[in-house]
């Protein structure tokens, strides 16, 4: 690891000159020295020490990406294709912008805050925040924040949210199901907060709009933790036979349910219709292929990152972005 100081000594010039050449401030340096320095830099393959640079400039060129994991959810959050596709989009944008990505997964908001302040990250991308988590972080961390899929009106004073019209997406799908003759339609998710609640609301709106009365046991609560999943699926399958269709809050759950159903001889869509949400690889590869509400997950990551980078540059950005959804009708909803 050669340093500017060493280069300067070797070349019999000052560190300032070397630094100026490195930063292309060539207006202040003679062509001859530029050449000398540039050649030498290439020869010794100079790489700047970012820690020193950050210290001097009080910036880090790091974008912190913090995922909050719920205790009852995946032991391994990244295994959800939705999450990994999102991270993929984020990583790519960060890299293309010349920034660096520091990925951090935690159940503990305090831990996340400590992490971002030590590293003095230039901006923060938050995913999985529930309730006022986002607000708590933004109160302590004063630099730009962009949240993904957070439902907090209050929070929008502090950060931009990039989300979806989840309500509408679900509304349209359930509406479609009803148009195909289904009436007893259950809703499956693992909770009723944030995004899940918005989708649940869209589901209920569609029922109401069609004069179908929702009953409490139409809500199917799945337990995603791997040690409870099988049993949970068991119970759900038993209840499922009373329904025409099930609207699932994600493709992952839809496919897990269909697999469980198939294992006990229940045929989709002949015996029951299923819809998902997200349009991930899981539903695309399943047969019958899953009818679902499409969202561009990678794009979501890209948009969120772009907005964050703009805010870092001091540009004006919207408080809220709602990406569109689109119905993808494939083969898991039959007409009855």
Q: Which residues bind DNA (CB under 7 A)?
A: 1, 3-5, 12-17, 19-20, 22-23, 27-30, 32-33, 48-49, 52-53, 55-58
Please check whether residue 83 is in contact with residue 72, taking contact to mean a CB–CB distance below 8 angstroms: no
Instruction: Find where tokens 């869509």 sit.
Output: 269
Choose between 32 and 153: whose C-beta lies nearer to DNA: 32
H or E element: which one contains 52?
helix 50-57
Considering the complex, state which of residue 120 and residue 201 has its C-beta at the smaller distance from a second copy: 120
Q: Which residues contact 175 (CB under 8 A, 6 or more apart)?
A: 206, 209, 210
Partner whose footprint covers residue 287, from a second copy, DNA, none (CB < 5 to 8 Å by kind): a second copy
- Least Cβ distance, residue 316 to DNA (angstroms): 24
Residue 9 CB, shortest distance to DNA, in Å, is 10
**Concatenated DSSP letters for 282-328?**
HHHHSSSPPEEEE--HHHHHHHHHHHHHHHHTT----SEEEE--EEE
Q: What is the 3-state secondary structure (H, E, C) of 229-261?
A: HHHHHHHHHHHHCCCCEEEECCHHHHHHHHHHH
In this chain, which of 31, 71, 118, 335 binds a second copy, going by CB under 8 A?
Answer: 118
Instruction: Work out which of 77, 145, 246, 308 binds a second copy, going by CB under 8 A.
Output: 77
Candidate segments 12-20, 22-30, 214-222, 277-285, binder of a second copy by CB under 8 A = 277-285
String of DSSP letters for 114-168: HHHHHHT-SEEEEES--TTHHHHHHHH--S-EEEES---TGGGGTSEEEEE-HHH
* Least CB distance to DNA at residue 94 (A): 20
298 is a site residue for a second copy (CB under 8 A): yes
Q: Should residue 281 be labelled a site residue for a second copy when binding is judged by CB under 8 A?
A: yes
Task: Find which of DNA, a second copy, none residue 85 binds, CB within 5 to 8 Å per kind.
Answer: a second copy
Question: How is residue 69 annotated by DSSP?
Answer: P
Q: What are phi and psi of 184, to 5 degrees?
A: -80, 95
45 vs 216, which CB is nearer to a second copy? 45
Residue of 3, 33, 54, 191 that binds a second copy (CB under 8 A) = 54
CB of 281 to a second copy, least distance (A): 6
Q: Which residues, numbered 250-269, are part of the site for a second copy (CB under 8 A)?
A: 255-256, 259, 262-263
Are 93 and 305 in contact, with CB atoms under 8 Å apart? yes
Beta bridge partners of 118: none
Residue 124 Cβ vs a second copy, minimum distance, rounded to whole Å: 14
Whether 1 and 49 have beta carbons less than 8 Å apart is answered as yes
Which residues make up the interface to a second copy (CB under 8 A)?
1, 45, 47-52, 54-55, 60, 76-79, 81, 83-85, 87-89, 91-92, 95, 100-106, 114-115, 117-120, 140, 255-256, 259, 262-263, 281-282, 285-287, 298
């Amino acid at each position: 690891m050669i340093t500017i100081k060493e280069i300067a000594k070797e070349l019999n010039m000052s560190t300032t000159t070397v630094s100026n050449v490195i930063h292309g401030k060539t207006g202040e340096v003679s062509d001859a020295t530029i050449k000398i320095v540039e050649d030498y830099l290439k020869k010794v393959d100079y790489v700047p020490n970012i820690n020193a640079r950050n210290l001097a400039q009080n910036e880090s060129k790091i974008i912190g990406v913090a995922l909050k994991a719920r205790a009852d959810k995946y032991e391994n959050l990244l295994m959800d294709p939705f999450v990994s596709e999102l991270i993929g989009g984020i990583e790519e944008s960060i890299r293309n912008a010349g920034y660096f990505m520091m990925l951090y997964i935690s159940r503990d908001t305090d831990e996340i805050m400590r992490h971002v302040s030590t590293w003095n990250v230039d901006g923060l991308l938050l995913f999985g925040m529930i309730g006022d988590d986002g607000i708590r972080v933004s109160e302590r961390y004063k630099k730009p924040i962009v949240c993904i899929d957070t439902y907090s009106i209050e929070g929008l004073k502090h950060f931009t949210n990039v989300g979806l019209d989840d309500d509408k997406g679900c509304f349209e799908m359930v509406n479609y199901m009803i148009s195909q003759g289904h009436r007893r339609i259950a809703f499956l998710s693992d909770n009723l907060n944030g995004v899940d609640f918005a989708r649940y609301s869209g589901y209920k709106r569609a029922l109401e709009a069609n004069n179908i009365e929702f009953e409490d046991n139409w809500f199917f609560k799945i337990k995603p933790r791997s040690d409870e999943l099988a049993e949970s699926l068991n119970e759900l399958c038993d209840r499922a036979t009373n329904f025409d269709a099930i609207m699932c809050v994600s493709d992952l759950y839809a496919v897990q349910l269909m697999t469980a159903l198939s294992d006990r001889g229940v045929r989709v869509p002949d015996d029951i219709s299923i819809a998902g949400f997200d349009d991930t690889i899981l539903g695309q590869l399943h047969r019958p292929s899953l009818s679902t509400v499409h969202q561009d997950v990678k794009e979501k990551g890209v948009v969120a990152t772009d907005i964050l980078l703009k805010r870092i540059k001091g540009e004006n950005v919207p408080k809220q972005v709602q990406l569109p959804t689109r119905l993808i009708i494939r083969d898991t909803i039959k007409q009855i």
